[in-house]
Amino acid sequence: MLNPVIIALLIVASLDTLMLLIAAGFALRILRHWDIQSGSELQIRLEQQTYLIATLVGFAFITELLSLLLFVYNADALSSQFVGAMCATGVLNVNPWGWPTLISKIIVFFFAALWLALNFIDRQAEDYPLVRIKYGLLLLIAPLMLSVWSFQLKYFLGLNPAVITSCCGSLFSADARGIAAEVSSLTPRTGMLLFYVGGIAVMISGLWYLRKQRTALIFGMCSIGAFITAIIGIVSFVALYIYAHPHHHCPFCILKSGHDFKGYWLYLPLFSATALAISSSAVAVTQRIPSLRTQAKKTARKFGWLALLLYGIFYLLSSWMVLTSNLTLENLWL
């Protein structure tokens, strides 16, 4: 099962892994020998390497985002080749590595975003106060990327067309077992409640933080929570309205042209908002470092407002999709 897309995805993942491992190697040296006070040639070389590391991580971030899109899109396109698969869900189900690949890709994306934000803010202070945290984090991202790479390799090598898979219809149904089934066995009402509670929580914590300049960490946690509840909400509530079908729970079919690519309009703001909110909260925490006080405050606020704007777009758009749908569910408002 080696079609060109899969080869491309494997190549990109291998290159990204390689680059992040190189970056991690530099990071180790930096952690060992970094001394900003020194003017030695070693220190100057290390500083020059920080530029390379930042470029490598930035590059990996962009290509991982693109390959995340390509991965899902390709899974969708492959669905015709597997008996029982109608969309990406079925294709991801072909073997046990599909979902771990997707989830780890998402996690790497958020971590890379966080790293880039920290790197950005760190370089605003003359003493580079976050060097240790930053390169420590990088040592965490590199193995993560390695696991993405190995999951994806196992997944693609294990794509056997003879496997009869089950698709969104059965995976996201109340009768099945597993997380996906439990998520979709939630009544649309619970889904809706979770969806909006998460939304309200993140908006309020965000506004609270932006007004009071405190509790940034709560904002960050709410944003992670909101991401999860938003996905649950999409599966058990919003999707039903987009498909205009009371039992079609699927987070991928909404990406198809048959549904006007509505999924992209939801996922892009949601992902960017979450990445920005996490970064904002992390940057805000660094305000405690004296040399970063003003810059961190400014940057965190900027990220925070942008995140709230994107959250607003996400929740408004999904509400609009629900309201303009042809579907009316009974018992929703009970």
Partner 1 sequence: MNTHLLHLENVTKTFNQGRPNEYSALRGISLDIPAYQATCIIGPSGSGKTTLLSTIACLARPTAGRIYLREKPISNLPENFLAKIRRSTFGFIFQRFNLISGLTVLENIVLPAYPLGLPQHKLLQRAFALLDQFDLKNRAEHRVEWLSGGEAQRTAICRALINDPAIVIADEPSANLDSALTAELLEIFTQLRAAGKTLLITSHDPIIHEAAAIDMRVEMRDGEVRSIA
Partner 2 sequence: MASLLRRKGKNLSLLLVYTLLVFLLASVLLYTQALRKEATLVLANSPEIIVQRLVAGRHAFIPAQYLKQLGDVRGVTYTQGRLWGYYYDPVVKANYTLMATGNKGLAVHEIAIGAGIARTRQLTVGDYLSLRNARGAPETLRVKEILYPDSELLSADLMLLNPESWRQFFAVPQAVYTDLTLAVRNPAEINKVAEKIVQRLPDTRPILKSEILRSYDAVFSWREGLVSLLLSVALLAFVIFAWDKASGLSAEERREIGILKAIGWETSDVLRMKLWEGAIVSLTAFLSGYLLAYAHIFFTSAALLTPILKGWAVLYPEFHVIPYIDYLQVATLFFFTVVPYAVATLIPIWKAAITDPDEVMR
Kindly list the residues in this chain that would bind partner 1 in the complex (CB under 8 A): 36-42, 44, 47-48, 123, 126, 128
Residue 55 binds which one of partner 2, partner 1, none, with CB within 5 to 8 A depending on kind?
partner 2
As a whole number of angstroms, the distance between CA 113 and CA 276 comes to 8
User: Can residue 79 be called a binding residue for partner 2 (CB under 8 A)?
Assistant: no
**Binding residue for partner 2 (CB under 8 A) from 5, 21, 207, 306?**
5
**Binding residue for partner 2 (CB under 8 A) from 36, 42, 83, 204?**
83
User: Can residue 124 be called a binding residue for partner 2 (CB under 8 A)?
Assistant: no
**139 φ/ψ sector (left φ>0, alpha ψ -120 to 50, else beta):** alpha
Which of 155, 195 has the CB closer to partner 2? Answer: 155
State in angstroms the smallest separation of the CB of 298 from partner 1.
Answer: 16
As a whole number of angstroms, the distance between CA 69 and CA 82 comes to 20
Of 65-73, 140-148, 168-176, 214-222, which segment contacts partner 2 by CB under 8 A?
65-73
User: Would you say 261 and 255 are in contact if contact means Cβ atoms under 8 Å apart?
Assistant: yes
Q: How far is CA 185 from CA 172, 190, 271, 277, 329, in A?
A: 8, 10, 25, 29, 15
**Binding residue for partner 2 (CB under 8 A) from 28, 77, 217, 231?**
77
Helices vs. strands in the chain: H and E counts, helices first: 12, 0
Contact letters for partner 2, residues 35-54 (x by CB under 8 A) = -------------x--xx-x
As a whole number of angstroms, the distance between CA 313 and CA 308 comes to 9
As a whole number of angstroms, the distance between CA 219 and CA 278 comes to 8
Of residues 286-315, those binding partner 2 (CB under 8 A) = none
User: Would you say 307 and 223 are in contact if contact means Cβ atoms under 8 Å apart?
Assistant: yes
Per CB under 8 A, residues contacting partner 2 are 4-5, 7-9, 11-12, 15, 19, 48, 51-52, 54-56, 59, 63, 66-67, 69-70, 73-74, 77, 83, 164
